[in-house]
Structure 1
Amino acid sequence: MRQIDTERNLSRTVFDELRAAVVSGELAPGELYSVHDLAARLGVSRTPVREALIQLSERGMVRFERNRGIRILRTSAHDLEEVFAIRLLLEVPATYRATGQRVSGWVEELRGHLEDMRAAAEDHDEAGFMAADRCFHETINTASGNPRLARYVDSLRDMVLSRGTSTVDRSRGLADILAEHERIFEFVADGKAGQAAEAMRAHLLHTAELLIGQAAADIGEDPPRLDLGWTNYPG
């Protein structure tokens, strides 16, 4: 973590730094840290650090332990199953609503994120690719007319990232993930709400299967039988 320039938006910057440190593994899963030590490392007072840690706790990334400090949590296979069950319940109908509403401008914004994904895939830039992937999903969710849903889904993605796992390295390349997003975009751009929603559902299910299977393999267990719900939309 780097020391923070207090002239900037302090609370937001502290949150971003701590979140990035958890996602990257700089703050290691299972380890205990004190608010005092984290504040010293960032060069700020304890108040913004505590506020940021409360937000990370709400996202399921850390846990306050009385008289001990802050423990960094590692997302389990069961946690991932819960996360993707929620994402399916929220993002599939959000895609349906967003496509059907045809609000001006957002489809072009979505196209821009898809182009960023293509460019990152060509450069083998996984970090850039996943950042554009995140923006792609957030744009759809926001276009559904529910910004709170978009923020909540975005926070759920942090739980996945905090495992330190990726579907890219072991299971599929950037080109495969890109193809799933291109399919979603094609249906969105054509105004085919039902098919766009089903493409989103297929993408989330595929990602869930890969990540949950990978998490189970990491601890030597058989992948669980997934029960992530089912949603069908007329084409």
Structure 2
Amino acid sequence: MSTSRSLPGLQALPKHETRREQIREALRAAIISGELNPGTVYSAPTLGARFGVSPTPVREAMLDLVKEGLVVAQPNKGFRITEVSEEDLDNLAAVRLLIEPPTVRDITTLIPEADFPTLRSLAQDIVDAAERGDLVRYIEADHVFHLTLLGYSGNRYLVDVVAGLRSQTRLLGLTPLVQSGRLGTSAAEHHELMNFIEARDPVGAELLMRRHIGHVRGLWARRAEEQP
């Protein structure tokens, strides 16, 4: 991997975000996708040089990620990327299966029709990022879409829990999907989910969500596809 290049997708992130927030989201995506290796210690200056930004916002962003458990501060060295075992990833997916599909089922009839265009736009953001091969934007757009949907439950604790589970997930198969051009097919599932929601089909939405989370431990994780 190149040691000197611009942080992927950094300029494509929303304009209202601060530099620190942009870098934090990009680093989070790099961790989730495996671009930053689990167990490896990275210094802020090294990451700054690698991604073409100054060390200070990188250090600040990494301190934010320490709070999320994605990295561990190493005094006088930098930040170690947290390692997550296969068993941990299986358990994370299992908890998500307990929470997200039934929640999506329950909110399918609650989402106002007036909100459909906005949700469609968020789903399209995921597809657009996949077509560009921009994993930073893909992971961020996916995060926004799903947490926005779950927000219709009216349960902020549920949304916070799922956000934490998603941050701990590792999707090491995304880069090969980008290289093969198959990420767009997976991204299109978000429009398929919207089809069920717009049709007020809670059973279809729930089943789609189960299949979607199955990809987390299958197609998107470089493993045989899981059958939830």
TM, length-normalised to structure 1? 0.65
- Between the aligned partners of 1:119 and 1:35, the Cα distance in structure 2 is 31
- Between the aligned partners of 2:18 and 2:78, the Cα distance in structure 1 is 25
In structure 2, the residue matched to 1:85 is 94
Aligned equivalent of 1:57, options 66, 77, 82: 66
Quick check: 1:106–1:139 contact (8 Å CA) kept in 2?
no
In structure 2, the residue matched to 1:44 is 56
Paired residues in the alignment total 209
- Between the aligned partners of 1:196 and 1:179, the Cα distance in structure 2 is 14
In structure 2, the residue matched to 1:125 is 132
* TM alignment of 1:96-135, pairs within 5 A: 96-103=105-112, 105-120=114-129, 124-127=131-134, 128-135=137-144
Letter in 2 for 1:208: R
Structure 2 residue runs without a partner (length 5+): 7-16
Moved more, 79-88 or 112-121: 112-121
Moved more, 14-23 or 129-138: 14-23
SS at match of 2:72: strand
Quick check: 2:109–2:202 contact (8 Å CA) kept in 1?
yes
Q: CA RMSD in A?
A: 4.1
Q: Which deviations, in whole Å up to 9, do the C-alpha atoms of 1:32-74 show, x marking residues without a partner?
A: 24679879984539xx947x54542343322345787532123
- The list of structure 1 runs, each at least 4 consecutive aligned residues, that deviate by more than 6 angstroms after superposition, is 35-41, 225-228
The percent identity for this pair of structures is: 29
Aligned equivalent of 2:173, options 165, 182, 194: 165
SS at match of 1:100: coil
Letter in 2 for 1:125: R
- Between the aligned partners of 1:84 and 1:178, the Cα distance in structure 2 is 19
Structure 1 residue runs without a partner (length 5+): 3-7, 216-222, 229-235
Letter in 1 for 2:173: T
Letter in 2 for 1:165: G
In structure 1, the residue matched to 2:13 is none
In structure 1, the residue matched to 2:14 is none
